[in-house]
Amino acid sequence: MQKASIVGTGSCLPDRVLSNRDLELMVETSDEWITSRTGIHTRRIAGKGEQNFQLASKAAKSALESAGVSAADLDFILVATMSPHMIMPSCACFVQAEIGADKAFAFDINAACSGFLFALDLAAKYIASTPEMKILVIGSETLSARVNWQDRNTCILFGDGAGACVLESSDNGGILDSILHSDGKLWNLLYMDSPASKNPELLDPERKGCFIQMSGRDVFKYAVRAMEDVVVQLLERQNISINDIDLLIPHQANVRILGKLMERLGVAQEKVFINVNKYGNTSAASVPIALDEASREGRLQKGDLVLFCSFGGGFTWGSMLLRW
Ligand code: UT7
């Protein structure tokens, strides 16, 4: 069966940097608290001209350039997001128009922070059945618009950004295996209710429903256990050990979650890519931004075994193994 290979990556971060010191002026918090509990120092916040689809389109152009693929040759654009520019049309349709991918079909998926992995898995299955397809997969978020800036439990965690990759079929390497899970029974531990809407019947008077609501401690506990379990499941199914992995690129939620995950998996820190300190949790964008940085920093060599894992609202979680 033809495998899907990542032939180019790109990312785009908004210009504005929001530091922990800036947050000290907005809510009752401290740089020391945020750093020690999350490892986050700064995050990026979208401004004018940096709407979700605009960040996504810039990341897309960069991925297309690195792949040497023209937008006009794309067959399919898939955007993972939970903070789209509009509910309808999809962010993917806006990206299609922005980059000029006239022959592609386009739609969004929402699997919260696991969205990029779920999207990659779907794209890989399209390529398995139609190997001539060229597919653009993007994870893109502007969560700053969906965060309550008076809620110190959540506003310190999230950031905006987009990451993208181009997929083509390949005879060797590419996406080797993936395992995805969901548990909708736990939806109320991490959720975002009705989107801001001009319809007064849908608009929450206090707009509380429009913001991310989170039971932080529970999410923390489930995230560590779920990511550990799904990584072990995948390694066992592939009959390999964590030592065979050249680079682990996990969802960038929080340094403490990643620390616990590394400890439980027994993986050395130098084999784990971490940039949550700079960008905070960018949800569906975190893995593709990290992948693009890892690639541009020379952390990935041809033939390397790369492992992704993620966890997010739903709950949703998964892991994916690929040969670079
Ligand atoms: O993609 C998944 C997305 N979600 C996550 O990754 C979140 C996972 N959870 C976490 O990372 C952690 O639970 C947090 C970083 C959100 C919170 O850390 P914690 O150690 O679990 O703290 P806590 O929620 O138990 O709160 C401890 C105290 C509380 O005060 P009291 O009740 O003990 O007086 C909070 O009110 O810390 C307080 N607190 C803060 N203090 C200063 C909560 N947020 C802040 C803050 N600054 N920003």
- Could you report the per-residue pLDDT of 138-193, keeping only the tens digit for each? 999 999 988 989 999 999 999 999 999 999 999 888 999 999 999 999 999 999 88
Do 160 and 267 belong to one domain? no
Do 220 and 147 belong to one domain? no
Atom of ligand 1 nearest to the CA of 223: 2
Regarding the beta carbon of 191 and ligand 1, being less than 6 Å apart is answered: no
Q: How far is the CA of 150 from the centre of ligand 1 (A)?
A: 14
Instruction: Print the domain residue range for 256.
Output: 176-323
Q: How far is the CA of 163 from the centre of ligand 1 (A)?
A: 27
The predicted structure's pLDDT at residue 210: 77
Q: What Cα–Cα distance (Å) separates residue 235 from each residue in 124, 228, 266?
A: 19, 11, 13
Regarding the beta carbon of 113 and ligand 1, being less than 6 Å apart is answered: yes
pTM: 0.96
Do 183 and 212 belong to one domain? yes
Do 65 and 214 belong to one domain? no
Domain boundary pick from 172, 207, 239: 172
Regarding the beta carbon of 217 and ligand 1, being less than 6 Å apart is answered: yes
What is the distance between the alpha carbons of residues 161 and 124, in angstroms, rounded to a whole number? 23
The predicted structure's pLDDT at residue 204: 58
Mean residue pLDDT of the chain comes to 94
Neighbouring C-alpha atoms within 13 Å toward the C-beta of 288: 41
Regarding the beta carbon of 313 and ligand 1, being less than 6 Å apart is answered: no
Which amino acid, one-letter code, is at 198? K
Catalytic positions, please?
113, 251, 281
Give percent of the chain above pLDDT 90.
89
The predicted structure's pLDDT at residue 285: 98
Angle at 322 between CA 127 and CA 126, to 5 degrees: 10
User: Which region among 195-199, 249-253, 312-316, 317-321 has the lowest average model confidence (pLDDT)?
Assistant: 195-199
Cα four-point dihedral sign 293, 297, 298, 304 = negative
Q: How far is the CA of 144 from the centre of ligand 1 (A)?
A: 18
- Residue in the block written with tokens 């009705």: 194
Number of Cβ within 10 Å of residue 234's Cβ equals 21
The predicted structure's pLDDT at residue 208: 61
Do 99 and 140 belong to one domain? yes
What does the block give as tokens for 129? 């059945």
- Count of structural domains within the chain: 2
Do 22 and 153 belong to one domain? yes
The predicted structure's pLDDT at residue 13: 98
Do 141 and 243 belong to one domain? no
Nearest residue by C-alpha to atom 1 in ligand 1: 312
- Residue in the block written with tokens 């210009």: 15
CATH number at residue 73: 3.40.47.10
The predicted structure's pLDDT at residue 199: 57
Q: How far is the CA of 193 from the centre of ligand 1 (A)?
A: 21
The predicted structure's pLDDT at residue 297: 97
Do 12 and 157 belong to one domain? yes
Domain boundary pick from 152, 172, 192: 172
Domain boundary pick from 137, 154, 172: 172
Quick: pLDDT tens for 35-79.
Answer: 999 999 999 999 999 999 999 999 999 999 999 999 999 999 999
Regarding the beta carbon of 253 and ligand 1, being less than 6 Å apart is answered: yes
Do 210 and 101 belong to one domain? no
Regarding the beta carbon of 155 and ligand 1, being less than 6 Å apart is answered: no
Distance of CA 89 to the CA centre of its chain: 21
Do 136 and 207 belong to one domain? no
The predicted structure's pLDDT at residue 202: 55
Atom of ligand 1 nearest to the CA of 312: 1
What does the block give as tokens for 100? 């000029």
Do 144 and 195 belong to one domain? no
- Contact between 319 and 227 under an 8 Å Cβ cutoff? The reply is yes
Do 168 and 254 belong to one domain? no
* pLDDT exceeds 60 at position 5: yes
Residue 206: pLDDT band (50, 70, 90) is low
More confidently predicted of 198 and 279: 279
